[in-house]
Amino acid sequence: MPDAPSFSLAGKIIIQSGGSGLLGRALVTGLAASGATLIVASRDAGKLQTLAAAERAAGRQVHAESVDLGSEPSIHALRDRVLAAHGRIDGLVFNAVSRPMRTMSDDLAGWKESMDTNATGFFAIVRALGDAMAQSGGGSVVNIASMLGLVGMNPWLYEGTTMTAPPDYFFHKGGMINLTRYLASHYGPQKVRVNVVSPGGIYNPAQPQPPAFVERYGKMTMLGRLADAPEVSGAVVFLLSDASTYITGTNLVVDGGYTAK
């Protein structure tokens, strides 16, 4: 019988953009625990140093790097530093996000600002690292979108709370999902797989969402609750691993059944 597919990331060099938020930290821990040598990068690498040091103290290989997703030279410099240090790049997790807008009536400057990271920066880093992986024989890109790229806004969820659903977020996540399909088609012949993970709402124990939102959201899912951040990392590990070598152009939705109802 053939060997079972490997869900391990041991020996793989993975770059993750964005790691200081709730989901970003969970992804760092999940990928590192699965054996990856993980380079986590953001504009302020200092915020990631403590996280990286804690992971290394636990025996995992995590390194913090700086990158400005609004600058293509900065992205290329990150790529070149990783290649010089490790010899290759096996995967990218695009988890960075900019959220300057809150409502439809916000100044257009917020819309333009979010485009720098969520659209232009996204394309620039996937192209730079996708090309590098293609030149070295293949790899895997996993983009972190959202179920909000699949559905419209539900105002009922936010009634009576200070929470909002910014329009730029819906635009960027919907665009990310379809650009992922384009990129999968472009890079497929070069053995680079490109997939997207679309999480649903994630509970934040440090800054809990309003009880009314938590209750309403739970009623919209089949599992009756928000996700815990580590529950998303398993999907990302799977798509980076050799257990998913025939999967590309796919949107893996991790939403407790919200969009399946």
Please identify which residue in the block is written with the tokens 């504009």: 43
Contact 31, 232 (CB under 8 A): no
Own/partner pairs for 156-159, CB < 8 Å, 24+ apart? 156/216, 157/213, 157/216, 157/217, 157/220, 158/213, 159/212
Cα(84)–Cα(104) distance, integer angstroms: 45
- The answer to whether 35 and 8 have CB atoms below 8 angstroms apart is yes
Active site residue 217: no
Q: How far is CA 18 from CA 13, 44, 59, in A?
A: 16, 10, 22
Query: Beta-carbon neighbour count of residue 81 at 10 Å?
Result: 15
Contact 71, 127 (CB under 8 A): no
**Structure tokens given for 193:** 């797989």
> Distance (Å, rounded) from C-alpha 8 to C-alpha 36?
8
182-211 burial: b if 16+ Cβ within 10 Å, else e:
ebbeebeeeebbbbbbbbbbbeeeeeebee
Phi-psi region of 160 (alpha: psi -120 to 50; beta: other; left: phi over 0): left
The active-site residue out of 158, 169, 182, 203 is 169
H-helix or E-strand spanning residue 94: strand 91-94
Alpha carbons within 13 angstroms on the beta-carbon side of residue 221 total 22
Q: List active site positions.
A: 169
